[in-house]
Amino acid sequence: MTQKKKIIFIYVGVAVISVLILGMSIFLAGLRKEKRQDGPSALDVGKEQVDEIFVLESDLELERQDGSKVMISDLDDKVWLAVQFYAACPMCAERNSERLLEIYKEFRTDEDFMVTCFSVDPEDDTPEKLADVRDRLGADAKNWWFLKTDRETLWSFMTEKMYFTTILERFEPAEIASKGKWAHDLGIQVYRGNTLVHKWHEGLPVEQLQDEIKEALYELKNPE
């Protein structure tokens, strides 16, 4: 092989390798983008997070559906349920109108019981939208709060302090239509004051959630 042919052969080899590397990079980037866009199914999130009892040591100011300001610490003398939510979420609507409303009706007459829904889409969830959701559920404003604050603050608090799973944006139109724009934790957290005592998700029996609430209310009313 002449020197010229050797040089041509080397250049062609380098070019082929470069094309292969570029093609693989584009392929892997596409996979990462697809994974990031799809996100996890909201039915699956919340199952691998912290399950142990812990104390919620941080506080947070929030706006209620009537525009009034409240604090997480205002719930220190209650047994309260915490859920992630936004008004346009079809999966939230199903969970709230079935599981959450069922629980609420069972315990709503107990003055020590509360339900709190934290909006993960505060820019779109106006006080009017939140009040409309509350009214359609037939919930009482005094013991079912729909809460919001700026998105960054709330998302950080819910993932870092309350150990809800990370909220992800969906991009696929068909998935948005069926599940909503935001993939978020659909679990239900039970607190006694500032202490998490139970985390419930689809797949667990509702009776277990009911029993945990009853036990938490008993312990709240009968401290040692």
Asked, for residue 49, whether it belongs to a domain, the answer is no
* Choice between 35 and 95, residue whose per-residue pLDDT is larger: 95
Answer whether residue 48 is part of any domain. Answer: no
CB-based contact 183:197 (threshold 8 Å): no
Residues 58-77: tens digit of each pLDDT: 899 999 888 899 999 999 99
Res 97: pLDDT: 79
pLDDT above 60 (res 191): yes
- Tell whether 193 is covered by a domain: yes
Q: Examine the domain organization and report whether 136 and 172 are in the same domain.
A: yes
- Cα–Cα distance, 45 to 64 (Å, whole number): 26
Q: Number of folded domains in the chain?
A: 2
Looking at residue 90, which CATH number applies to its domain?
A: 3.40.30.10
Domain that holds residue 13: 1-38
Q: Do residue 104 and residue 31 come from a single domain? A: no
Burial class (CB in 10 A: 0-12, 13-18, 19+), 171: middle
The answer to whether residue 126 is domain-embedded is yes
Mean pLDDT to the nearest integer, 112-136: 91
Indicate whether 60 and 23 sit together in one domain.
no
Specify whether 64 is located in the same domain as 118. yes
What is this structure's pTM?
A: 0.74
- Given this model, what pLDDT does residue 93 score? 81
